[in-house]
Amino acid sequence: MGGWVEGDPAGDRRFLDLPGPFPLERGGSLPGVRVAYETWGSLDPDADNAVLVEHALTGDSHVVGPAGPGHPTPGWWDGLIGPGRPLDTDRFFVVCANVLGGCQGTTGPSSDAPDDGRWGGRFPEVTVGDQVAVEVALADALGIDRWACVVGGSMGGMRALEWAVAMPDRVATLFFLASGAVASADQIGTQTTQQAAIRADPRWAGGDYDPADPPVDGLGVARRIAHLTYRSALELGERFGADVQDDDRFAVASYLDHHAAKLARRFDAGSYVVLTQAMNTWDVGRGRGGVAAALARVTARTRVAGVDSDRLYPLALQQQVVDGLGVPLRVISSPYGHDGFLIEVDAVGRLLRDLLEGNP
């Protein structure tokens, strides 16, 4: 129950230990950071073919590949990476790292602290900038001075944009998908409500809960709230309507129950709180003179895309980014809402392939 912990099968993960102290944007530091990551393809001798894929809130480094020991679910963006695919591993060296604060091998609340206990409620607040700083250290360790492309959707889009703004000389192309340049009040309100659901679980214990008895009820409620924002009202209506199952549950409630239980089996409640807080404080313009000034720093050839039925990251948020970058907005038509960026792999793949091939 919960995320990956030391002693579990490593699966396809590799690990990098970064020495500390590791300073954090909101104050304080971490004494060191372990990063879990996966790679596909081979790095060219001049290291100019590397692509960084950034995962979303409950994703991890396992972008593609089957479920198995160490990987409770198949790859979350299967179909995107491999020979002949948009991220062609005969051409590119693809990297994805579990994010700082996560629970799939990278240092987070469920990781061991220096005193041999779990970090738990002591884990400090981290920002998107901190998460990217860890990825910079990973890139340096892998010998990658400049990414051929940085790709990310949702929370991953935040890190992708942070890369292009903070280190423009290290990003050749950027694919920014179903995300925004700054957290909206709607997103913050939704995410703080999810956090409140977790903290209301009696087993939360201020974040210092028993790993054998985690606050799965609160995490499950948080996931139900989140999942409603990930899908569109149209899709839910057409799929479930007001149907009632043989067990007297509404069909849509049963669907949400399934996703709540599924997440609890593979994710840590402490990481959920830490990562949603990082999303709440996201603002690419903080300390840079505002969003427009920050976007003016981007030199990467950029493709920005959104999903027409996305109610969590509506097209207006991507429009703000394209207005700042002077590029067109590409719209993916999908009934699936925000999750369309994960489900519509063919449409996403076409846009990504065109970007990498230099097509307008």
Is the bond into 83 cis (omega within 30 degrees of 0)? no
Q: Which of 243, 277, 311 is the last residue of a domain?
A: 277
Alpha-carbon gap, residue 353 to 83, rounded angstroms: 13
Q: Using pLDDT thresholds of 50, 70 and 90, give the confidence band for residue 88.
A: very high
Q: Are 312 and 337 in contact (CB under 8 A)?
A: yes
Q: Using pLDDT thresholds of 50, 70 and 90, give the confidence band for residue 359.
A: confident
Q: Which of 277, 298, 315 is the last residue of a domain?
A: 277
Q: Which of 277, 292, 318 is the last residue of a domain?
A: 277
Q: What is the DSSP letter of 250?
A: B
Q: Are residues 193 and 174 in the same domain?
A: no
Residue 324 lies in a domain: yes
Alpha-carbon gap, residue 122 to 358, rounded angstroms: 46
Q: Are residues 166 and 194 in the same domain?
A: no
pLDDT beyond 90 at 267: yes
pLDDT tens digits, one per residue of 135-192: 999 999 999 999 999 999 999 999 999 999 999 999 999 999 999 999 999 999 999 9
Q: Are residues 56 and 173 in the same domain?
A: yes
What pLDDT sits at residue 115? 87
Residue 205 lies in a domain: yes
Residue 8 lies in a domain: no
Q: Using pLDDT thresholds of 50, 70 and 90, give the confidence band for residue 2.
A: confident
Q: Are residues 146 and 68 in the same domain?
A: yes
Q: Are residues 240 and 261 in the same domain?
A: yes
Total domains in the fold of the chain: 2
Alpha-carbon gap, residue 182 to 215, rounded angstroms: 30
Residues 10-35, mean pLDDT to the nearest whole number: 95
Instruction: Please give the positions annotated as active site.
Output: 154, 310, 338
pLDDT tens digits, one per residue of 212-253: 999 999 999 999 999 999 999 999 999 999 999 999 999 999
Q: Are 277 and 270 in contact (CB under 8 A)?
A: no
Q: Are residues 159 and 306 in the same domain?
A: yes
Q: Are residues 339 and 243 in the same domain?
A: no
Q: Using pLDDT thresholds of 50, 70 and 90, give the confidence band for residue 105.
A: very high
Residue 4 lies in a domain: no
Q: Are residues 107 and 58 in the same domain?
A: yes
What pLDDT sits at residue 116? 77
Residues 265-283, mean pLDDT to the nearest whole number: 97
Q: Where are the alpha helices (DSSP H) in the chain?
A: 128-142, 155-166, 185-199, 216-230, 233-239, 251-264, 269-280, 291-295, 315-325, 340-343, 345-356
Q: Are residues 289 and 273 in the same domain?
A: no
Residue 5 lies in a domain: no
| Residue ranges making up the domain that contains 123 | 14-183+282-356
Residues 353-358, mean pLDDT to the nearest whole number: 95
Q: Are residues 177 and 160 in the same domain?
A: yes
pLDDT beyond 90 at 20: no
Q: What's the whole-number average pLDDT of the chain?
A: 97
Residue 1 lies in a domain: no
Sign of CA dihedral 14, 20, 23, 28: positive
pLDDT tens digits, one per residue of 28-70: 999 999 999 999 999 999 999 999 999 999 999 999 999 999 9
Percent of the chain scoring above 70 in pLDDT: 100
Question: Which CATH number fits the domain that encloses residue 261?
Answer: 1.10.1740.110
Closest CA to 333 of 313, 301, 306, 314: 306
Q: Are residues 178 and 195 in the same domain?
A: no
Alpha-carbon gap, residue 105 to 355, rounded angstroms: 31
Residue 7 lies in a domain: no
Residue 6 lies in a domain: no
Q: Are residues 171 and 39 in the same domain?
A: yes
Q: Where are the alpha helices (DSSP H) in 82-178?
A: 128-142, 155-166
Question: Which CATH number fits the domain that encloses residue 320?
Answer: 3.40.50.1820
Q: Are 176 and 163 in contact (CB under 8 A)?
A: no
What pLDDT sits at residue 360? 74
Alpha-carbon gap, residue 301 to 134, rounded angstroms: 24
